[in-house]
Structure 1
Amino acid sequence: MNFHKIALTTLAGLLLASCGGNNNSLSSRGDLVEEPIEKSTQSISQLDSVTSENGLQVLTGPAICDVRVLQINYQTPGAQPGEMSNASAALFVPNGTDPACQGPLPLVAFARATNLEKARTNAMDLSDPTAMLLMTFFASQGYAVVATDYLGYALSSYPYHPYTHADTEASTVIDSIRAARNAAPSLGLTLNGKVMLSGYSQGGHAAMATHRAIERDYADEFNLVAAAHLAGAYQVSQSLIDGVENPILGVQYFVPFQITAWQKVYGDVYDTASDVFNVPYDGFIEELFPVVHYPADLTQLPAVATVPAEARDEIFKADYLEDLATNPDNGTTIAAKKQDLLGWDPIAPTKLCSGSADPVVRFSLHAQAAYDDFRSRGGDNVSLVDVNSTIEALHGDVLTNDPATYYKNYHSSYEAPLCTWEARKFFDQYK
């Protein structure tokens, strides 16, 4: 199973009308828009069957609790000052007779990896990679979990997703915690007040942005006891500059998504799309992500199997790439620097996890750089785990016989469960 694949679900229903800005006060952040929606219950036997089939039970352990899967819809700010909208989230609630399932329970707030499908929700069953990891590693072991879908996805009425935008990632995760607390009484869920943060890939960036915001602005509201940031891009600006020479797998999706999102947030990243993108992409790229007609609309872009450098050159103008690599006043670079997450000091115990051969989120640019930055100012509460040796031990035959497949799967499949395991072991010390 691909633990971080682009979901193949179809559009489940009409999105709510765009609310842009409305009359809701910022004081309503985290308020529920409607009653929680019960989606399913995954039994202990179902959970154990999946972890046995995928060889994960050695990491997860046998399930202790059934898991109720609910969808919540809550109020949260948009990207512009004073703007309110809504976002949805999955709420995974342990259920069963074992005392570990009954509470009071700690709450894990989890931010998911990049997904290109607008209808995508975390409130899924065990067939979904993200939902499966959250249920088997956390909820089945006595953690309540809330996992935001972000602005612009699933039930959110927001007209776009502010991709890799630190401020709205943080506000959306923070308000998911509030929403989970608001939903808890009607669900018979008793929380112990302890909050833990985690996320993978884009979610690693979102979780770290949330961590910084909570300790800076909301320390009196949230008892943040631990954080585990997994394979996230913490130096976004350096990623883009490095990506000119070393484009990542999926450059034709992720980088245009970032740039066009920042243009919608800030309005001054570029003058026109044709300043950045080649014909015909300049004519539709600004409205493509996240994708409504998935996966059909992605056929307008170079195929996922395209060599990254060739995909980069097909999408982007050569003079734009040169300016991005060399000009510190490039509009994209200025916007990207606002998303960088170094230069602050975590208070809660913090674990960083990544793999040093990750071809998508480079270890040295992100996990290692963040660790070195935090430790340089005495951050002895921050640890770093490199899971590369375990990945090689488990999948070395693929590396030997089919290196292209190995590196294609590294970030999307091999790394995610191992870093989730590191997060669970870490959180077990503080629950």
Structure 2
Amino acid sequence: MKKLLSIFLFAALWTFFLKAEPFDPNKTATIYVHGFNNGGYKRKGTYGADKYEEFFESIPSFIGLPTTNREEDKNRPNVVASTDYYGDTPPSYYTAKDIQDIEEVTAEYGGGIPRYAMIMAKYAKHILKRTGAKQVNFVSGSMGALVTRWLIEKDYEHLASEGKIARWLTLEGVVGGNYAASNDFLMKIWNEIDDPSIDVEQMSYNWINVHLHNPHRNTSSPYLKNILVGHETSTKDDAKDHALTILTMANGQYMPNDGFQVVYDTYFNRMAPESKFMGLMPTHSYFHVNHLGIKKAKGAWVQIGAFLLSNKRVKITLKKAAVYDLHEKNRWYAKFLPAEVVFENEIFSPYAKKRWGIEDAISQRLMGGGVVPIHRYHQTGEKELYQVFFNDFVFPEEKELTLKVNALEIDADERFGIFESFKNRKYETIDSIKVTVPIKNGTYEYKGESIKLTLDVEVIEYPFKLLGEDGINGFSDDELKNIVSWLYEKILQREAGEKEIDFWVNYLKTHPSEIYTLSKKFLLSKEVKEKDLSDKDFIILAYEGVFGYEPNDIQINNWLDAFERGVGKSAFINDLFTNPDARKLINRVSGKEGGVDENTILDRGDLVHYYKVMSKNATFLEDYFKNMLSEHPELTVDKIHGVEAYKIIYTTINADGKKVNASGLVTIPKDHDEPLDLVSDQHGTKFGNFDVPSTHDPLGSVGTLVTATKGYVVSMPDYVGYGVSLKYFHPYLIAKPLAANVIDMIFAVKKFLKEKGIEDSGKLFLSGYSEGGYVTMAALEEIEKNYKDKLPVTAGAPMAGSYDMVTTADMVLGAEKYEYPNLPAFVLYSYNHYYGWNKLHDIFKDPYADELDKFFKEKAKGNMLHIDLPEDRSKLYQDNFIEDYLSGGAKWLRDALKENTLLDWKPTMKMRLYHCEGDKVVPVINSINAYNSFVEHGSDSVELITKEGGSHGSCSIPFYIDAYEWFDTLR
């Protein structure tokens, strides 16, 4: 029956997609709809214009999407955008009709939700027109969910009826209203201490019942039918001493909540058939954080990314649970049976751990949050439960999930009226298990000491396009051929014929879910059966065919015993596929992945591990870069190349000089028939880990653009302190360790090219902007002095770097105000750590010394904190420190700055220094002093390119274009 339903569902899916716009994340913009602000409805200023959103500095860059925070990205068709719906002044793109629409809806409803929805709808229409996107997604936080619901159900700007909305995800959303706003007594008190707020009034259940749908938590809107809807809910109720929990219990019924929003109001409880996308209810994940906590919950980031970008939905249901120890006994003074048992659970993503180092749960249904159903067991044994553990999207690359289950028996919990103990809350652990659940349709059984769980896994792969993916599941035709050829050689022990390879490649294209399990068909084939292998030999062959290695004696004997007990060969092979080594083998033999274990420390410059993270064909990239290239006709493009991107792990040194593994990204052209030139490009200052080359979306990298338009191989190091070396200190603007990171990756990339059979032309170019300009200069100096013969440099283009650290520090610390205080603070923190001064409190005033220390310690854990430092020198720095430095003292600092100044050497390679004269972040004097010093040292191969005016941000693109046009003349 389940298989039949899947067939009908897919028929419906394909019928829908023949009629509707494709759900293509490459051409779908995402709009973040912010939540409630207490005084927002009274705000003066422009509404409906692009807005800087701090939220974007973590999640969109983490999942690999461009944002309107960056000027150069705001017109991309898959941009993530945000605006403010509060304000009283229309944006410049509004027509007279737009203004009239806003005025009319404001007059009709008094402002509030309908007004905000109209503003958001017009902004979405503006984004569609400006970027050329085909659809938009909405990600709505808190009250923003109600704004978006109104926009959709009232079909503002015909976005819903014309199929312009692809996905809608709510975060802790006011989907069905707000409990506190619906309490007359609370609202009476609110209105007595503050002006009555139209926002609060319209979040009430009664208002939604009248104006949207009754009952307020349900919907029957037909406009939702063609929109994929998902919900993320928070469950930690610790705000204001659990005030909302106390309020709900005082009203007679406990309701789980996140301190501000009752859980039941954060999702559609029921949807009419005419409202369901593909006949299914929305996805739903829970996180045990308080209201607005999802912004910092990295597991939630993973789920936001999967919802927006993936095509694979997974539902895990606890079908049955057997409990063998109830921890309850009836006594003469009380009857404690039935036992109240809960199965709280957390889901973890192995893919997120591998790609981003994220180990946080991607869903948490915990007893503390009150969202776990209570099951009553009158006796030990098995019950049918049908409790949902997980119902959401996972990334396409995800092959399994890690499930942690705690079975608890409740002795006391005042929220649910259970009082078998004098304590308010008391639980006894029956059992805990942590298991791997394959993402494959089926029923799976897991046993602990006191429980047995039977899980149903349902997988739906929607026919959505994926982000820039080329080939099947990221495999090119050549890689599929490699897999098939290897299986013939290893399992059938013969060479595959051309027709046989073509047959299986075409089979995998139409059965992509079998790529990682194709070896089963070979092992159970007639050709293997005719070999008449003994059970032992079959076990050995299966291990070699699935894992690439032989089993040990214990494994052989265990499976021989299993065969004697009646376990079939098909079940045996299926069990092998649950081991992640099976997937690793396919990646390795295909060429997607290679090297040794990524934690192995080798010698400096050695390639440790690599795996492919992106493959895009030329047609896709030509369309993707179309707008950008039309805006920059000065960029010469003979042809657009397809691009493959690989995450590289290599051995280098950290700031202490110890060997560690670091990471980076390398992009290579797919269609080449001649030796390739290599560029090492160094990135600028990053305050978080989700915006460096190996963790950011490769599609938005400098490397992809340069490889696609120019055909270079591009090496982009993360630097130690980012990527796989996140736990180590990042030596910001410290020359020697940063130069080592760059040089060691260049050596590793050359070894990678050799392993992939790609011929290196021997021409080497270096480029970088801002911190990347400094790092480029440091690497060029180190190569000149110590690696000139091994790494001859064709040309280098350091851009807008602080090469003269002494002069830069004099200017920055000498100014009473500096507009970018985080940058010098980062330098001083870095130097304090590197040189062991222990002077943070001597340099910075309270509380900034401690805040900086906390910021960088949390960064090392992968957490992104906001830090707001004052521009006023007198507020940030200790008076004695400034006075000492400006009077020529603070020798400890001056010596360090001098040591890391990059002027005292003679470049013999060709070099162009680029800098804008209007740069206020890194003054142009850096490049002027560097040029003059190099000339004084006798260099005649250096040029200085300056541009009148300009800013640090605005000059990066034109300088990069000029640098690479210049590189082309030297190829």
TM-score above 0.5, yes or no = yes
1:162 partner SS? coil
Q: Which amino acid aligns with 2:611?
A: I
Deviation of 1:339 (Å): 0.8
Contact 2:766 2:776 (8 Å CA) reproduced: yes
Instruction: Tell whether the 8 Å contact from 2:706 to 2:714 is kept in structure 1 after alignment.
Output: no
Q: Secondary structure in 2 aligned to 1:297?
A: coil
More contact order relative to length (CA 8 Å, sep ≥ 6): 1
Correspondence 1:349 to 2:910? yes
| Aligned pairs (5 A) from 1:26-65 | 28-34=603-609, 36-54=610-628, 55-62=630-637, 63-65=639-641
Instruction: Give, in angstroms, the shift of residue 385 of structure 1.
Output: 0.9
| Deviation of 1:217 (Å) | 0.4
Within 5 Å, give how 1:8-157 maps onto structure 2.
8-10=60-62, 13=353, 15=357, 28-34=603-609, 36-54=610-628, 55-62=630-637, 63-81=639-657, 83-96=658-671, 101-123=672-694, 124-125=696-697, 128=700, 131=701, 133-157=702-726
Shift of 1:56: 4.4
Render the CA deviation track for 1:257-307: whole Å, top value 9, x for unaligned.
Answer: 111211221113xx4321111111222313423836888511x423xxx6x
Cα deviation digits, residues 322-378 of structure 1 (max 9, x gap): 2222224432222111110012110101111111111111112x1111111112233
Q: Is 277-286 or 87-96 further displaced after alignment?
A: 277-286
Q: How does 1:15-414 map to 2 (within 5 A)?
A: 15=357, 28-34=603-609, 36-54=610-628, 55-62=630-637, 63-81=639-657, 83-96=658-671, 101-123=672-694, 124-125=696-697, 128=700, 131=701, 133-246=702-815, 247-251=817-821, 253-268=822-837, 271-289=838-856, 291=859, 297-298=865-866, 300-302=867-869, 308=871, 310=872, 312-364=873-925, 366-388=926-948, 391=950, 410-412=951-953, 414=954
Q: 1:235 to 1:276 in 2, by over 3 A?
A: same
Cross-structure match for 1:430: 970
Kindly provide the amino acid, as one letter, of the partner of residue 231 in structure 1.
Answer: A
Partners of 2:621 and 2:969 in 1: CA distance: 23
Rounded Cα–Cα distance in structure 1 between residues aligned with 2:792 and 2:849: 46
Range with bigger deviation, 160-169 or 117-126:
117-126
Alpha-carbon spacing, 1:418–1:221, altered in 2? closer, same or farther (3 Å): same
Measure the CA separation in 2 of the matches of 1:249 and 1:70.
Answer: 37
List alignment gaps of at least 5 residues for structure 2.
1-49, 63-297, 299-351, 360-598
Residue type matched to 2:641 in 1?
C
- Contact 1:29/1:76 (8 A) holds in 2: yes
Contact 2:912/2:944 (CA < 8 Å) preserved in 1? yes
Distance in 2 between the 1:41 and 1:339 partners? Answer: 39
Q: Per-residue deviation at 1:423?
A: 1.4
The residue type equivalent to 2:645 in the other structure is V
Determine the C-alpha separation between the residues in 2 that align with 1:126 and 1:24. Answer: 26
Amino acid at match of 1:136: L
Judged with a 3 Å threshold, the aligned counterparts in structure 2 of structure 1 residues 241 and 227 are, in CA distance, closer, same or farther, namely: same
SS of corresponding position for 1:110: strand
Change (3 A) 1:16 1:295: closer
CA-atom RMSD, angstroms? 2.8
Q: Distance in 2 between matches of 1:235 and 1:328?
A: 18
CA distance in 2, matches of 1:103, 1:6: 40
Give the fraction of aligned pairs with identical amino acids, expressed as a percent.
Answer: 25
Distance 1:319 1:283 in 2: 18
Deviation at 1:80, TM superposition (A): 2.1
Decide whether aligned partners of structure 1 residues 42 and 332 sit closer, same or farther in structure 2, where only a CA change above 3 A counts: farther
- Structure 1 323/103 Cα, relative in aligned 2: closer, same or farther at 3 Å? farther
Please give the secondary structure, in 1, of the residue aligned with 2:731: coil
Higher strand share: 2
The structure-2 alpha-carbon separation of the partners of 1:343 and 1:6, relative to structure 1 and needing over 3 Å to count, comes to farther
Contact 2:621 2:708 survives alignment (8 Å): no
Tell me, in whole angstroms, the C-alpha distance in 2 between the residues paired with 1:339 and 1:103: 40
| SS class of match (1:189) | coil
Please tell me whether the aligned partners of residues 727 and 860 of structure 2 are also in contact (alpha carbons under 8 angstroms). Answer: no
| Superposition deviation, residue 137 in structure 1 | 3.3
CA contact 1:205–1:233 (8 Å) conserved in 2: yes
Alpha-carbon offset, residue 212 of structure 1:
0.7
